[in-house]
Amino acid sequence: MAGPSLFERLKESCRDDWQRYVAHEFVRRIADGSLSEAAFRHYLGQDYLFLIHFARAWGLAVYKSETLDDMRQAAETATALLDVEMKLHVDFCRGWGLSEADMRALPEASETMAYTRYVLERGLAGDVLDLHVALAPCVIGYGEIGARLAADPETAAGNNPYTAWIEMYAGAEYQEVVRGAVAQLDRLWSTRGSEARFPSLAATFEQATRLEADFWQMGLDAADRALG
């Protein structure tokens, strides 16, 4: 019988930090609909900037890949981010009163810079496995959050203004992305991994997870500052 996936091992290696990320107060307020609109709009604007650097990271993955199949997969992901996901994000944000011009003019929050530059640094300093491990908390974590909230009977429906966000990450299309990311980690582990590498990969995953939690906290802190 096959053992746990690399992703499950990485997640287990920082279980407490992972729970602080996927069950962050920001996420809980999305679930019950109590998150302030100011917090969500701040998050959306920074997420637009985040996606730009996310596409750069997938461009780096093309360069770091050794096989044509991996290069094509990374290139397809970068293209999808630039040509599809960005448009969907802009359309979604428009419903929250944010135009693309507004978001493009935003200064990057320190939390946005911290995570995106960390991902790029790990990809530049390491190999394609290091890069995918740094990306995993975002790619796979959002799918886990969406699926859990959609399945939880305590998640508010009806008048919850964040239902569309939950459905986006719980939906079949994004869940397929998650399964692909988990499988890609295992493929890279089989060709590039070793138990001697696991502590370093786990440290990368843990730091990226903490930076993702900080990204949620950024939205709450921005809303608090606006009220203050």
Active-site annotation holds for 212: yes
Helix (H) or strand (E) holding 58: helix 37-64
Cα(184)–Cα(33) distance, rounded to whole angstroms?
34
CA 109 to chain CA mean position, Å: 16
**Set 138, 144, 173, 195: catalytic member:** 138
Q: What is the CA radius of gyration of the chain?
A: 17
Tracing tokens 């429906």 back to the chain, one arrives at 157
Q: Is 138 a catalytic residue?
A: yes
Among candidate residues 69, 65, 66, the one with its CA nearest the CA of residue 57: 65
Distance CA(155)–CA(152), nearest Å, equals 6
- List the beta strands (DSSP E) in the chain: none
Looking at the annotation, which residues are catalytic?
138, 212
